[in-house]
Structure 1
Amino acid sequence: MTRTVIITGAGSGIGAATARRFAEDGWNVVLNGRTKEKLQNVAKDLPEMQRHIVSGDVSSREDAEKLVEETVATFGGLTCLVNNAGIARGGAPGELSHGDFEDIMRTNVGGVFNCVTAALPHLEKADGSSVVNTSSVSGEGGDWTMFGYNASKGAVSNMTRAMALDLAPDIRVNAVAPTMTETAMSEGIREDDALMKRFKDRIPMGRGAQPEEVADVIAFLASSDARFVNGVVLPVDGGLMASNGQPNFSA
């Protein structure tokens, strides 16, 4: 069976790692992102007959519709949608600008809505179809000075659960919730040794995630091995969320 996946935010980080993982598993992979050059750099490592690039901004309804239409025209159908595109901007209430808040919500929440709405008629025709969203541990609990990002990822997590109810049994919908992952988005954190130490001290595994470790979980959720997994927001966090937040008295 030929399987086709769309991966948004595929130009770097988790999205790029996910594209490589799906290609290794024999999927046709459609890479989407705002910057065509980044997508081309990822695509060059994928088998030519299994890859296709559609650049665009998923916060645009028209771009999301074009993405799905071109995918179906190229590969004849769609089996899985990975909503990975996202942006992060810091700021507490009263500090985060209206413009930044609107950009975060348009991309992180509106992008999921636009892509799912466009993809739904084609996912309904496929056997074993699914949607996998990239949420965050920041969607399962709050962070200091990340008010807008927390709001957006909380929305993604609950959209995942609601869609899982509405689209079952034909389409499964799940999400991953990574902790700090070593990507371009976390570069500022990783360049601050003191801040990285605080992350490592807080995560029981003692480090952040690698993009490939998140990609492996996304691939699992899209696979037949997860055929009875639906409505799950799965932490990929090295045990971070296993804690209730109280101090480590053994340290």
Structure 2
Amino acid sequence: MKNIVIIGGSKGIGSAILLQQLETNFVYNISRTAPDVTHPNLKHFSVDVLNDSLPEIENIDSLIYCPGSINLKPIGNLNVDDFRNDFEINVIGAVKAIQKYLPILKKGDEPSIVLFSTVAAKLGMPFHASIATAKSGVEGLVKSLGAELASVVRINAIAPTITETSLSANILRNDRMKENMIERHPMKGYLKANEVAEMADFLISEKAKSISGQIFEMDYGIVTFKI
């Protein structure tokens, strides 16, 4: 049984990861709200990652940082605070968590870190200037720390396309919009949270012991294919 720290495990993709890990690992969830589940293998800390001190945890094998944002506006409607807030949530929060828990992670069992990017960091998409900028920072962090920690801790990121969660509810708010999103993707689909959770599970497992510093696009073909 491994000790998994999930930051932002109460909603969306983080919740799917939390539910998947509970049966076989001990999970520490750090988020502002408690998850809608209780389990003997779960300990929750009600913490605002950006503004509060992170809790002390004695044993950690994997750290998964899930908080993100979807702030889609034309560049003329974005202000400096939009960019600053997205960067804080996506990059600074991850840096804060890594700096806090890295000394403990280094003592873990095949330790690993998983962060989250987006397909918009690779694929130019209108109205994504702020979030694409922030997530590009996440990808740079993964590459740099992958090299710095190569012999000690693995770190990778998942870059999903649109995923059906509460965060994307406005984008997928009716059947017509869902059908349009399906048609935009060459493989005729978009992600469910449990699909992303499966990738996270793989990346923290022994099966991925040779993989670090990588960005895994779960894109239903939207970045990879032009059809």
- Partner Cα separation in structure 1 for residue 123 and residue 176 of structure 2: 23
Q: Which amino acid aligns with 2:44?
A: I
Q: How many residues align?
A: 227
Q: What TM-score do you get using the length of structure 1 for normalisation?
A: 0.85
Q: Which amino acid aligns with 1:101?
A: F
Q: What is the aligned counterpart of 1:27 among 25, 28, 32?
A: 25
Q: Unmatched 5+ residue regions in structure 1?
A: none
Shift of the alpha carbon at 1:194? Answer: 4.3
CA contact (8 A) 1:31 1:51 kept: yes
1:197-232 CA-to-partner distances (Å, cap 9, x unmatched) read 332112123121110000000010000010001111
Q: Does 1:203 align with 2:185?
A: yes
Identity of aligned residues (%): 27
SS for the counterpart of 1:242 is coil
SS for the counterpart of 1:7 is strand
Report the equivalent of 1:140: 122
Report the equivalent of 1:161: 143
- Partner Cα separation in structure 2 for residue 56 and residue 140 of structure 1: 32
- Please show how residues 48-59 of structure 1 align to structure 2 within 5 Å: 48=40, 50-59=41-50
CA contact (8 A) 2:123 2:223 kept: no
SS for the counterpart of 1:189 is coil
1:68-107 CA-to-partner distances (Å, cap 9, x unmatched) read x1x32xxxx0010001111221223231122222211111
What is the CA RMSD across the aligned residues, in angstroms? Answer: 1.5
- Partner Cα separation in structure 2 for residue 238 and residue 93 of structure 1: 27
- Partner Cα separation in structure 2 for residue 156 and residue 227 of structure 1: 21
SS for the counterpart of 2:45 is strand
Report the equivalent of 2:15: 16
CA contact (8 A) 2:143 2:213 kept: yes
1:127-166 CA-to-partner distances (Å, cap 9, x unmatched) read 3000000111122233201211111111111211111010
1:107-129 CA-to-partner distances (Å, cap 9, x unmatched) read 11111110001011001111300
Distance 1:58-1:139 versus aligned 2 partners, 3 A rule? farther
Q: Which amino acid aligns with 1:54?
A: F
Q: What TM-score do you get using the length of structure 2 for normalisation?
A: 0.94
